[in-house]
């Protein structure tokens, strides 16, 4: 029975991670349609092993790519990151779901990356 419970937990965690990405992308599409200057697209990546923590999963990066609209340089990417990370409930949820790194990249490949644990306000 313990093996079955672990499998159920693992699949539940994986589904929650996919739901976070799907919900983020859906909200981004709606914001774009309503006039937000650029569309954001989230995906799961390998992350950065330097940011590992006790909840980290195998693919532990939460990457946000900017599409269309304005050109995004590193400064604008870091501003987007700070806006997203000002939501501490979201940061905690990302950590609980096994993410340890947030990455935000613009169309030109410039971007921002940080460990989520370091961005928690205690």
Residue 114 belongs to domain spanning: 2-119
For 93, the token pair is 């949820």
The model scores a pTM over 0.85 = no
pLDDT digits (tens, 9 = 90+) for 52-105: 988 888 889 999 988 776 677 777 777 787 887 788 998 999 999 999 999 988
For the chain, strand residue ranges (E) read 39-45, 61-67, 101-105, 111-115
Structural domain count of the chain: 1
pLDDT digits (tens, 9 = 90+) for 3-44: 666 555 656 667 888 999 999 999 999 999 999 888 889 999
């Amino acid at each position: 029975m313990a093996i079955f419970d672990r499998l159920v937990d693992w699949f539940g965690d994986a589904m929650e991670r996919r739901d976070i990405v799907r919900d983020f992308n859906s909200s981004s599409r709606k914001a774009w349609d309503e006039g937000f200057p650029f569309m954001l697209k989230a995906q799961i990546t390998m992350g950065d092993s330097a940011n590992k923590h006790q909840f980290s999963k195998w693919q532990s990066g939460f990457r946000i790519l900017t599409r269309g609209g304005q050109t995004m340089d590193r400064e604008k990417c870091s501003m987007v990151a700070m806006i997203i990370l000002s939501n501490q409930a979201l940061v905690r949820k990302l950590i609980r779901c096994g993410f340890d790194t947030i990455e935000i990249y613009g169309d030109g490949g410039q971007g921002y990356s940080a460990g989520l644990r370091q961005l928690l306000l205690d």
